[in-house]
Amino acid sequence: MTFPERFSNLPEYAFPRLRSLLDAHAPGGEVMHMTIGEPRHAMPDFVGDVLAENIAGFAKYPNNNGTDELLTSIADWVGRRFGVTLSPDTQIMALNGTREGLMNACLALCPETKNGKTPVVLTPNPFYQVYAVAAVTVGAEPVFVPATRETGFLPDYASLPTEVLDRTAIAYICSPSNPQGAIASRDYLRDLIALAEKHDFKVFADECYSEIYRDEAPTGALDVAKEMGADPERVVIFHSLSKRSNLPGLRSGFVASGPENILRIRRLRAYSGAPLPGPIQAVSARVWADEEHVISSRKLYAEKFDLADEIFDGIDGAKAPDAGFFLWLPVADGEEAAMKLWTETGVRVLPGAYLSRDVNGENPGKGYIRVALVAPKEETQRGLITLRDCLYG
């Protein structure tokens, strides 16, 4: 029996890998999960009512691209948030969360060759793992670019050789970044889009953490592209209700771009995708239209950011992020730190190397752990103090 070679060297996914590392060992105290980025703030209180009102929709095939109500609600939100006008009919498609879109957009838009050679897909390192799998699936060469403290925790794509940039078809960028919480500035995005225009590649902007921030709202790639007068097909953005609205189980997001990109993504979706059920689309339309629950949730994260700053005061490199909800904490070795923390205290965190790839013998995540700030404030405070005393005491 034969199996495809293209996926044979994929590392085990982060969470099974973590279970293999820790589960053979007894926890050293009350178990506290600070690994997965699953929001635990309250979801909007109207979700159940809207779902119940539309329950009959489960008896019907859903609209593949998104209902008019949903696409209009998304377009209105993009207009309010980023000052960009999108056509609901031609520039947006509803998604089963951003992971589906980040994968399928690569399938739909990555060419078989670029300048007669194997195309390149650029990804920050560390990164959300679907970026690399998407590249492998389309037969492209994934190129992992360090996003380290020295680069402001964002990839320096402009530093790559011209030969690589000329083969590049897609560059993934996550802002605010997962796991580091760095925000791509307007200048950074302007330079990246200009680089994409020069070397003719697309920018896939994963912005699913954009509504969780400390002070100023992060800049979006679409509004920078509009300001520059860039080709509307140059930038593809991805957003989700998972983090913004504490609805990870809803599996609802969207992709937006120029009409030609969206046409091709929709066409592929018609053959192979799984559209959102009608009742979920009805809920999503209402959620995108409401901002009060987002503001309330953001205030709760701000309180936890302040807690983290107090708890880790004086520890070099250990500070709450500018955005998102992860701490990216420096340690000597991420696996060793995760094991020590688990066996001595019962606190469970993710080694940073599980979110990165080795390049030339270096793994930019090895000296870090990722800690999720998703639990209620008191639980988060207890976990962070325990972590500090164990690893930095």
Question: Which residues are CB-neighbours of 1 under 8 A, at least 6 positions away?
Answer: none
Instruction: Give pLDDT, residue 305.
Output: 96
Which of 310, 308, 299 shows the shortest CA–CA distance to 329?
308
The pLDDT value given to residue 70? 98
Q: Are 170 and 121 in contact (CB under 8 A)?
A: yes
Sign of CA dihedral 189, 195, 197, 202: negative
Q: Is residue 333 classed exposed, middle or buried when 0-12, 13-18 and 19+ CB atoms within 10 A define those classes?
A: middle
In the predicted structure, residue 358 carries a pLDDT above the cut 90: yes
Quick one: tokens of 15? 């969470």
| Closest to 258 (Cα-Cα) out of 64, 68, 37, 109 | 109
Average pLDDT, stretch 340-362?
96
Q: What burial letters (b/e) apply to 170-202, b meaning 16+ CB within 10 Å?
A: bbbbbbbbbbbbbbbeeebbbbbbebbbebebb
- Answer yes or no: is pLDDT of 105 > 90: yes
Closest to 281 (Cα-Cα) out of 42, 53, 63: 63
Domains by residue range for the chain, with CATH = 14-42+293-391 (3.90.1150.10), 47-289 (3.40.640.10)
Mean pLDDT of 128-144: 96
What is the pLDDT averaged over residues 202-213? 98
Answering whether pTM is above 0.95, one says yes
* Average model confidence (pLDDT) across the chain: 96
**Which residue type is seen at 114?**
K
- When pLDDT is cut at 50, 70 and 90, the band that residue 2 belongs to is confident
| Predicted local distance difference test score (pLDDT) of residue 245 | 98
Q: pLDDT value at position 5?
A: 86
- Rounded to whole angstroms, the Cα distance separating 158 from 151 reads 12
